[in-house]
Amino acid sequence: MKKIFIFFSITVLLSLFLVGCFPKPEEPTKLEDGYYLYFSNSEEGFKFDLIPDWKFSQQNDGTYKLEIAGSDLIDNVPAPTNNEKVWWWKVVQITGDSSIAYGGFEKFDPSVPIDPDVVKNMDKVIFYFDPSADTTTDHKTIAGVMGDNTKDASPIYFVGTPTGWNFVEMTEGSYTTEKSTKTIFGPENPLEFKIGVGVNNWDNGPFIFSENHYYGTGGNTLAFTSGNYAMGARIKFDPHFSKLIVEPLDEIKSISEVVNDIDVNGTHDASSIGIVNYKYSTYVFIQDETKGIEIYKPANIANLNIGDLVYVEGSVSHFIDSTNNVYKYNLNDTASVTVLKSNVEIIPVDISGVEIADNWDYYGKLVKFEGVCKNIDDGYNNATFESNGATIVVKNYTTTEFSTDITYNITGVVMYNYDQLKVVPRDENDIAAPGQIIIDGDLSDWTDYATKTVLDDAADDSKWGSDNDVNWIGVANDDKYLYIGAKYKASGNGFIIYFSVDGATGGATDMNFGSWPRAIQTQDGTPIHGFVAAWEHGDPQLWIVEGTETKTDISGKIDQKINADPVMEVKIKLSDFGLTKGDKFKFVGTIVGGDGSSSPDTIPNNPYPENWDWNVPLTIINMVEYTIQ
């Protein structure tokens, strides 16, 4: 009995001893609420855990700062595994059990690159952070928010449209453009640029900054995208917070402001920026977002075209006589206007139901309306329309003859004539009866059009997301013209509609050559003979594919076009595209990347090869057939 007790006692003691030898499982460290430094990598195999001591401290000015010895960073952050051989750092906000990151790898969530080779030679690295500068709602950005001191000794370079995309070193982070017509920036001609931090070439992408990216693969920073135009700009960049400040040197008054000044001060010298929306032998009208104005006898009027963005300076006045009431620049053949850009699209303002007889808010602007013709001609080319209860008079200088009680869609410029403001169509293309297609960025007139083929596609089936997706395409014709329409989104990418004409010679089944080279192929028997292409929502181009080595630009043969996000419309003479009644062709719409890229979305849909990637050729099997009627 005694032996048994001793044995039991020893067993209990030994058990207690062994249990005491095992450490108690540690609770995971719970981080305090606050902002912490975090490192990530775009490649697999890189792992970093938040370090409690690497927490940002708030400064007196409300910003945050964190100082870390260079050696501590080298010891605690894994070596980078990406091609750039840099760390990407961001900030993680901890609040209770939730977290949110500033920075990432998506388009609007970039991280800040930092070079380990620089860090290892620094006593300490200072990280700066200003969450109050982030005004985004659906994401967190670094623009104006994050930076560090590893680039303090680096020269900073400006590169953009004012420099012809050449790098120019900034002075203490500041660059000032010249003041000239070459540096006029505004809504239709924004300032585009990037900032190179220690980089004066395009080979080192990670340290090139643009508004949404701290590396070169991002889109360009754009300034002066709204509001008044400016002549010249000063750009300042603070790498500590990735902060950009863009200031105009001389702001150019809007046309509305110039007109108001005429009313107050009478005839005086002024300057304006506007888009030509009407051209006559002795004058043109230009407009901006606010109003329009006439330019009388510019010396280079023969070279001006509708869609030209122009700069004009000279004497402005308000002229009134028995037939005219006009605000204008009087150049009188003594001065020219400067064309800043061509083929700028003007979206007409819909004035259906608006009384405009004495409504000067629309003066000089391109408008459109739908109305029923009540008086075809009063003997002076004036036709009267009823539009949703409003009476609108059209000054008809075109060859179109109206019919009473017929509904028309009319586009034109608002001008004063004799006794009131009237809509003045520019040509026959500005006048359409129901069942006709107007190239105006509005697809509603396609609904009732007789000879057409349209196709819908899902708005979310692109491999590159909804920002690069095509979801509607249409082809139609009348006796003279071919109409092409599309509804799509393209951000940093393009859109192409390919055509294969039955029985035509030439063409090619592989589009990866010449201009607009793309990794897109078609099957034998359906070579591509032509295409309409646009980068993002830029000016549509028309190309003929003559053979396997030759593509010819015939964009000059486009009769009318518009590409106003998200709608593109193009009008081409059938004869210019080599088509006649009874001809058949197939077509397909494609979102495309840059040169050598494939398509992430087509309409109609097409099957993708296994392991498809951006540069893997896509063979088009499905196209839509259309017959010229």
Distance CA 278, CA 294 (A): 9
**Residues 509/498, Cβ–Cβ less than 8 Å:** no
Residue 400 CB neighbour total at 10 angstroms: 18
CA 596 to chain centroid, in Å, comes to: 21
Q: Tell me, what's the pLDDT at 4?
A: 40
In this model, does residue 570 exceed pLDDT 50? yes
Closest listed residue to residue 391, CA positions, set 368, 372, 378, 404: 372
Q: Tell me, what's the pLDDT at 213?
A: 67
- The letter for the amino acid at 347 is I
Residue range 369-400, pLDDT digits in tens: 999 999 999 999 999 999 999 999 999 999 88
Tokens representing 166 are: 């050449």
In this model, does residue 16 exceed pLDDT 60? no
Distance CA 192, CA 210 (A): 10
Return the higher-pLDDT residue of 421 and 85: 421
**375: which DSSP letter?**
E
Return the higher-pLDDT residue of 323 and 626: 626
| 3-class secondary-structure state, position 99 | strand
Residue range 513-548, pLDDT digits in tens: 999 999 999 998 899 999 999 999 999 999 999 999
In this model, does residue 11 exceed pLDDT 50? no
Residue range 572-597, pLDDT digits in tens: 999 998 899 999 999 999 999 999 99
Distance CA 190, CA 409 (A): 33
Helices (H) and strands (E) in the chain, counts: 4, 44
**Residues 345/307, Cβ–Cβ less than 8 Å:** yes
Residue range 201-244, pLDDT digits in tens: 887 667 888 776 676 556 788 899 999 999 999 999 999 998 89
Least confident of 172-186, 337-351, 440-454, 458-472: 440-454
When pLDDT is cut at 50, 70 and 90, the band that residue 21 belongs to is: very low
Partners of 275 in beta bridges:
287, 309
Q: Is residue 1 exposed (0-12), middle (13-18) or buried (19+ Cβ within 10 Å)?
A: exposed
In this model, does residue 43 exceed pLDDT 80? no
- The letter for the amino acid at 412 is G
| Overall average pLDDT of the 132-151 stretch | 81
Tokens representing 499 are: 């055509």
Query: If you average pLDDT over every residue of the chain, what do you get?
Result: 89
When pLDDT is cut at 50, 70 and 90, the band that residue 26 belongs to is: low
Residue range 170-209, pLDDT digits in tens: 999 999 999 999 999 999 999 999 998 888 888 766 788 8
In this model, does residue 564 exceed pLDDT 50? yes
Residue range 396-409, pLDDT digits in tens: 999 888 999 998 98
Least confident of 64-68, 104-108, 213-217, 337-341: 104-108
| Overall average pLDDT of the 354-380 stretch | 94
Distance CA 309, CA 613 (A): 40
Q: Tell me, what's the pLDDT at 20?
A: 43
**For residues 415-452, b (16+ Cβ closer than 10 Å) or e, as one string?**
bbbeeebbbbbbeebbbbeeeebbbbbbbebbeebeeb
Q: Angle at Cα 14 formed by Cα 11 and Cα 20, nearest 5°? A: 140
